[in-house]
Amino acid sequence: MTSDQTILVAGAGGFIGGHLVADLLKKGHTRIRAVDLKPLPGWFQRFPQVECKVLNLQELGNCLEAVNGCDVVYNLAADMGGMGFIEKNKALCMLSVLINTHLLMASKELGVQRYFYSSSACVYAGYKQKNNDIPGLKEEDAYPADPEDGYGWEKLFSERMCRHFREDYGIRTRVARFHNCYGPFGTYDGGREKAPAAVCRKIIAAKLAGKSEIEIWGDGQQTRTFMYVDDCVKGIHRLMDSDVVEPINLGSDEMVSINQLVDIVEKIAGVKMKRNYNLSAPKGVRGRSSDNTFIKKSLGWAPDTTLREGMKKTYAWILKQMTKK
C-alpha cells in the first residue's frame, strides 16, 4: 500500500478498528476515512487528522457514500460482542450480513482495489469443538459447515461473498478469522465484552469493593486462545500485502482454560479470588484454539505476544478506566 491511497476503515469506532486507524497513521497514511454507526463520543479512539463519518452501513446508500473515492476498504463493522451477547442476539448478528454485502457492492461499483473482511473463529464446525483439549482448528475445519448459530453463519456466508466477488469481479479480497482479540481501548463492561476484559473487570471491581470472590461463566475448564490486538493489526497488514486468497486463521496458539486465564489476571492483580461458577451462563463451545501452520507457511509469521504480556497491558488500561469512574 502507498501513502497516496485513500483508505476506508468501516467499524473504526470499535475496538480493533480504532487500533487499525492508529497504526495506519503511524505508517504514514494521511488519507483515511473512518466510519462507524456509534455517535462520535462513543468511539474508542478518534484522531483529528482523520475524516470521521457516522453512518449505518447496513444501508447501500451509506456504503456508497463511505466507499466513494477510496482505493482500499477494511471491513471490521459488525453488531457483535462476547458469548453473552451473540448467544442472545442471533438476529442482530445475522443482520451484519447487510454491511458486508453492501460494502462489496459499493466496492465493485466504485472500483475499489483491495478489500479486507474480518471473519471469526465462530465459523468453525461445532462438532469439532466438543472437548476441552482439542487440536488447533485448521482453516479447512470450517466445512462441512456447522458454525456458531447466528453470528457464525453470518461470518461464514460473508466469507463466501468475498470469495465470489473476487472470482466474479476481480476485487482483491482478503479474509482473516479472528480468534478472541483483546487489549486496551475496548469494551470491558455492558454485556458485549469478551472473556479477557470481563475477567479483568471482575477482579478489579472486587478489589475496589474490598471483596474476595468473582463469578465465572461455566465450569472454568473450557479452553480458548486469545490474541493481543497489536498482533491482530500486524496480521491484517501482512495478509493484505500477501497473495493469500483463502480465509486464514489470525490468532494465538497459546491455548488456556478460563481458569488459567483467571490465574494470570490474579497474579497481575496480586490477589487470589474465590471462584463462583455459574453453570447456566453462556459459555460457547468446550474448546477452541488456532492452528497456525498455514499462517506461518504463507506469511512467515504468526501472533506471538504471550497472554501474560498482553493481559498485563489490558489490565492496566481497564484499571485506569474503572478508577476514573
Q: Which pLDDT band holds residue 3 (cuts at 50, 70, 90)?
A: confident
pLDDT in tens, 198-247: 999 999 999 999 999 999 999 999 999 999 999 999 999 999 999 999 99
Task: Check pLDDT > 90 for residue 35.
Answer: yes
Residue 151 among the catalytic residues: yes
Paired with 10 in beta bridges are: 35, 75
pLDDT of residue 247: 98
Domain 195-223+255-289+306-324 class, CATH top level: alpha beta
Cell 489470525 identifies what position? Answer: 250
**Measured in whole angstroms, how far is the alpha carbon of residue 276 from the centre of its chain?**
28
Instruction: Tell me the average pLDDT across 4-12.
Output: 96
Q: Cite the residue boundaries of each domain of the chain with CATH code 3.40.50.720.
A: 7-182+229-252+295-299
Q: Is there a contact between 97 and 79 (Cβ–Cβ < 8 Å)?
A: no
CB proximity list for 325: less than 8 A, separation 6 or greater: none
Please state whether beta strands 72-75 and 114-120 pair in parallel, antiparallel, or not at all (unpaired).
Answer: parallel
Three-class DSSP labels, the chain: CCCCCCEEEECCCCHHHHHHHHHHHHCCCCCEEEEECCCHHHCCCCCCCCEEEECCCCCHHHHHHHHCCCCEEEECCCCCCCHHHHCCCHHHHHHCHHHHHHHHHHHHHHCCCEEEEEEEHHHCCHHHCCCCCCCCECHHHHCCCCCCCCHHHHHHHHHHHHHHHHHHHCCEEEEEEECCEECCCCCCCCCCCCHHHHHHHHHHHHHHCCCCEEEEECCCCCEECCEEHHHHHHHHHHHHCCCCCCCEEECCCCCEEHHHHHHHHHHHHCCCCEEEEECCCCCCCCECCECCHHHHHHHCCCCCCCHHHHHHHHHHHHHHHHHHC
Task: Check pLDDT > 80 for residue 192.
Answer: yes
pLDDT of residue 84: 82
In angstroms, the CA 232 to CA 244 distance is: 16
pLDDT of residue 186: 94
pLDDT in tens, 151-190: 999 999 999 999 999 999 999 999 999 999 999 999 999 9
Instruction: Tell me the average pLDDT across 93-100.
Output: 96
pLDDT in tens, 57-92: 999 999 999 999 999 999 999 988 888 888 889 999
Residues above pLDDT 70, as percent of the chain: 100
Buried b / exposed e along 137-165 (16+ C-beta atoms within 10 A): bebebbeeebbbebbbbbbbbbbebbbeb
Fold of the domain spanning 7-182+229-252+295-299: Rossmann fold (3.40.50)
In angstroms, the CA 229 to CA 317 distance is: 13
For the beta sheet containing 172-178, the strands, ordered from the edge strand earlier in sequence to the opposite edge, are 51-54, 32-36, 7-10, 72-75, 114-120, 172-178, 248-250
Task: Check pLDDT > 80 for residue 2.
Answer: no
Q: Which pLDDT band holds residue 283 (cuts at 50, 70, 90)?
A: confident
Catalytic residue (one of 115, 117, 124, 151): 151
pLDDT of residue 191: 87
pLDDT of residue 274: 97
pLDDT of residue 305: 98
pLDDT of residue 197: 97
Paired with 250 in beta bridges are: 178
Instruction: Tell me the average pLDDT across 28-48.
Output: 97
pLDDT of residue 156: 98
Question: pTM of the predicted model, to two decimals?
Answer: 0.95
Paired with 35 in beta bridges are: 10, 53
Q: Cite the residue boundaries of each domain of the chain with CATH code 3.90.25.10.
A: 195-223+255-289+306-324
Task: Check pLDDT > 80 for residue 53.
Answer: yes
What average pLDDT does the structure give for the chain?
96
